[in-house]
Amino acid sequence: MVIKAPEGTRDLLPNEALFWERFKRTAADVFGRCGYVLIDTPIMEQTELFVRGIGEATDVVSKEMFTAISGENLKTLLEGGSIKAKSRLSLRPEGTAGVVRAVVQHDLVPLGAPPAKLMYAGPMFRAERPQKGRQRQFNQIGIECLGADDPAVDAEAIIMCMRFFEAVGIPRADMRLLLNSMGCEACRPAYRELVRSYMQQHAEQLCGTCMTRAEANPLRAFDCKNEACAAVMEDAPKITDHLCDDCRAHYARVKALLDGAGVGYIEDASLVRGLDYYTRTVFEVQVDNGMGSQNAIGGGGRYDKLAEEVGGRPTPGFGFALGYERCVLALQAAGMEFPEAQRCDLFVACVDDTTRTAAFELAQACRDAGFACQMDYQQRSLKSQFKLADKLHARYVAVLGPEELSCGVAKLRNMQSHEEQETLLAEVAARLA
């Protein structure tokens, strides 16, 4: 039986792997212009980090985390024993917690220092039910800015996120930028109580999950996909009507900066996002392209308390992550195809076996001069070597026969113009340039 990739994972075949590399490079360029630099944290972390950072009651932590366990520890557990807390590991379901942990651990934002602006790219893991646009291993690119609570950080990052999507080719007209403020520990608790009592008044119209949520975290009910629940929650009290003065001023400044930059947004008081750590600004970018509820290509927000949750000193932060696979779906819906993975400047074709060694040496000399060269390894006929060169989109083909070899030349054919010229072997590389 053929063994396939695990459910909810996918291979990035060469053309797509090249596209992913370019995608990351574009991010490094766009984000780099705002001062963001790359950080690379482990794919697994202590489970406790996600429990404390993301929140125990979130779907991501309570249902969707993959545990990583050594064979030895698994055996201990199966035999009814227990393992140390530091051996309880999970594959990262998102990137923020790990980056904030690294910032705290390495003191990347000492007191009085400018904010740390960090970006990351790599796989995340969530044990969700796989479907189009929802995988168990997916790639995210994200940024985190730690050490400043200035609304300019929020606005700069949101604009940067939109610029990135445009730079990779997602038309602005296809994107919707949703914006909200989630308040802070001064104003959110009272608001949460308001929502809870509103939900209790409408208990018979809400689903069981929402009513359970009403206890642990009523704001989660805004995310419920059930139509009846959505209708009820539409008339729920709006957080933006209950922000404290500081949060209202922060939100107003973010909006003013976006307005000034001409970046349009839709205020959506029901945008609460699924993770516990957000305070103040949250945003999400959605596309319309038949992806149904998987239409979010990116999102994030401010998390001013997260560093403390993982044991650091108060360090306000802002971050976002975008989903690579969902961007690909959006781009493919707009007609994008992956680039050709292989570059071929020269294909060296042999007329017969007597010229193989010279062909090998010519290819090598041209590679050493910086050109991508290929040749045949399967004793194909000259005709089928030309077919192969076509398939590889070779710019030039050098034909080497016994006659050419005796004169120290090759017939060099330009595959676009079909011009052919006898060229000294020593001058082939110069001609390619």
Q: Which amino acid is at 311?
A: G
DSSP annotation of 10 reads -
What are the structure tokens assigned to 401, written together? 């026969």
- Whole-Å CA distances, 100 to 95, 281, 340: 9, 18, 37
Cα-flanking dihedrals φ and ψ of residue 63, to 5°?
A: -125, -25
User: Would you say 60 or 429 has its CB closer to ligand AMP?
Assistant: 60
Contact residue for ligand AMP among 89, 92, 94, 366 (CB under 6 A): 94
What are the structure tokens assigned to 298, written together? 């990116």
Rounded Cα distance, 303 and 310, in Å: 12
Rule CB under 6 A: is residue 138 a binding residue for ligand AMP? yes
**Sign of the alpha-carbon torsion through 67, 71, 77, 81:** negative
Rule CB under 6 A: is residue 302 a binding residue for ligand AMP? no
Rule CB under 6 A: is residue 317 a binding residue for ligand AMP? no
- For residue 58, the SS3 value is coil
Half-sphere exposure of 345 (CA within 13 A, CB side): 18
Q: Min. distance of Cβ 138 from ligand AMP in angstroms?
A: 4
Site for ligand AMP in 222-281 (CB under 6 A): 274
Contact residue for ligand AMP among 325, 345, 376, 404 (CB under 6 A): 325
Rule CB under 6 A: is residue 128 a binding residue for ligand AMP? yes
- For residue 44, the SS3 value is strand
User: Would you say 206 or 296 has its CB closer to ligand AMP?
Assistant: 296
Contact residue for ligand AMP among 182, 210, 236, 296 (CB under 6 A): 296
**Per-residue interface string for the shown chain with ligand AMP, residues 178-217, x marking contact by CB under 6 A:** ----------------------------------------
Rule CB under 6 A: is residue 297 a binding residue for ligand AMP? yes
Residue linked to tokens 């969700």: 128
- Whole-Å CA distances, 41 to 8, 52, 84, 333: 23, 18, 22, 33
Rule CB under 6 A: is residue 295 a binding residue for ligand AMP? no
Q: Which amino acid is at 291?
A: M
User: Would you say 83 or 333 has its CB closer to ligand AMP?
Assistant: 333
Rule CB under 6 A: is residue 55 a binding residue for ligand AMP? no
For the chain, the distance separating the N- and C-terminal CA atoms, rounded to the nearest angstrom, is 49
Rule CB under 6 A: is residue 299 a binding residue for ligand AMP? yes
Q: Min. distance of Cβ 52 from ligand AMP in angstroms?
A: 17
Q: Min. distance of Cβ 302 from ligand AMP in angstroms?
A: 14
Rule CB under 6 A: is residue 16 a binding residue for ligand AMP? no
What are the structure tokens assigned to 126, written together? 């969530």
Choose one: 82-90, 127-135, 226-234, 340-348; the region binding ligand AMP (CB under 6 A): 127-135
Residue 11 CB contacts under 8 Å (≥ 6 apart), including other chains? 5
Q: Min. distance of Cβ 49 from ligand AMP in angstroms?
A: 15
Query: Using CB under 6 A as the criterion, which residues of the chain lie in contact with ligand AMP when the complex forms?
Result: 94, 126, 128, 133-135, 138, 140, 274, 296-299, 321-323, 325-326
